[in-house]
Amino acid sequence: MTRLQQVLFKLDGQYLGHPYFVTGNALFNAIARRVDEQVARALNVSHGVFLPGEYGEYPLAASQDGYAGKLGQSLPEVEAYEDLFVFRDPAHRWLLDSRPRDAHNTHPLQVHGDRVAFDSTCWFGRPKKMRDHRRSVSWYLHCYVHAQPGDDDVLPVSTDVLNGVQVGGARNYEFGKLSVAETQVVDVEALDFSRLEAAQRSDESCWIELVTPFVLETEHPCGDAQSIPWWWGVDKSELRCRETRFVDGDETYAVTTVDHGQLVPYTGPNPVRTAVNGVYRVGTHSRFGFGELRVWPPGADRVPERVVDREGDAA
């Protein structure tokens, strides 16, 4: 049994950092200082993705369908592999079309001295004829933790440990404080992989979406340089790369990564096994959230409207 613990945090105040995500390294350091050394050694933490607590509907690929109420405020049930990624899409495609999407895809800004921070609540005006003249939308952070093989008894990490962790800058001024909205433990290998199993039996090729950056080169003494995986149907010149910084204590190290959000053809023989490995991430620094992958079956797309358009053109 290979488990992971999904964690949905509520942002409780101002936050000073990246507006769309929190690195797994930052979350790992925030959690690791609250547990003993043995548990800290066993923990693996994903990148955290910000999302609004708003009305939405389940994506087409999810095992549930239709209207979902305020989807961002609680964790949806996980029955199939696709359910793991409902909140991992930074474009929040689960938002209802009636929501002002452009305004919901980023935090409201605040200025503190010469620094720009983000607020935990976004306010929207309403027509004067309505009883309430404005409404609020709170922000949440989705991530998951899992353990090294053989250390499954580490999960679940208790709510007492997770409550109150802080991320981002100015933490000594109480910025970036998180409280647990909900957690749930999922057995990944017990999920429904029927769409990928069907793809495995067919001659059609799957696709890989890079959910978080994949590390190629690192200055960190515990990491190694690595090449593009052989089961990606591209070479390095076809990929968008960037350099970022990896913080370890008082030191920072340059890290060259393949940028997230890219799609590459899958040329391996076993998409189901690759899908499971991609949830737990691959490559150097995978323990800190890098190298998370999603495997898409043939004919599927991150943007459902594109599939509809293609089918319409074919007709």
Cα–Cα distances (Å) from 205 to 24, 154, 279, 295, 308, in that order, read: 30, 37, 20, 10, 20
Considering just the CA atoms, what is the radius of gyration of the chain in Å? 20
202, two tokens: 């067919």
Could you tell me if 9 and 150 are in contact, meaning their C-beta atoms sit under 8 angstroms apart?
Answer: no
Contact 55, 104 (CB under 8 A): no
Distance CA 202, CA 273 (A): 16
The mean-pLDDT minimum among 110-124, 130-144, 299-313 falls in 299-313
Question: What tokens appear for 65 in the block?
Answer: 């369908």
Rounded mean pLDDT, 258-278: 94
- Share the mean pLDDT of the chain: 89
Distances (CA, A) of 198 to 72, 144, 192: 31, 28, 12
Give the model confidence (pLDDT) of 48-62 as tens digits: 999 999 899 998 889
- The residue with tokens 């209802």 is 96
pLDDT band at 308 (very low <50, low <70, confident <90, very high): low
Sign for the CA dihedral angle at 33, 39, 42, 48 comes to: negative
**Cα-Cα-Cα-Cα dihedral sign, residues 79, 76, 303, 189:** negative
Confidence of residue 136 (pLDDT cuts 50, 70, 90): confident
Q: Name the residue with tokens 């404080």.
A: 177
**Residues 27-47 as b or e (16 or more Cβ within 10 Å = b):** bbbbbeebbeeebeebbbbbb
Tens of pLDDT, residue by residue over 159-186, are 999 999 999 988 998 899 999 999 999 9
pLDDT category of residue 149 using cuts at 50, 70 and 90: confident
Q: Which helix (H) or strand (E) holds 252?
A: strand 251-258
38-43 LR contacts (CB < 8 Å, sep 24+): 39/154, 39/157, 41/148, 42/147, 42/148, 42/151, 42/154, 43/145, 43/147, 43/154, 43/157, 43/287
Q: Tell the residue number behind the tokens 């309505």, with chain if given.
A: 130
Q: Above 80 in pLDDT, residue 307?
A: no
According to DSSP, the residues that pair with 313 across neighbouring strands are: none
Q: What is the pTM of this model?
A: 0.91
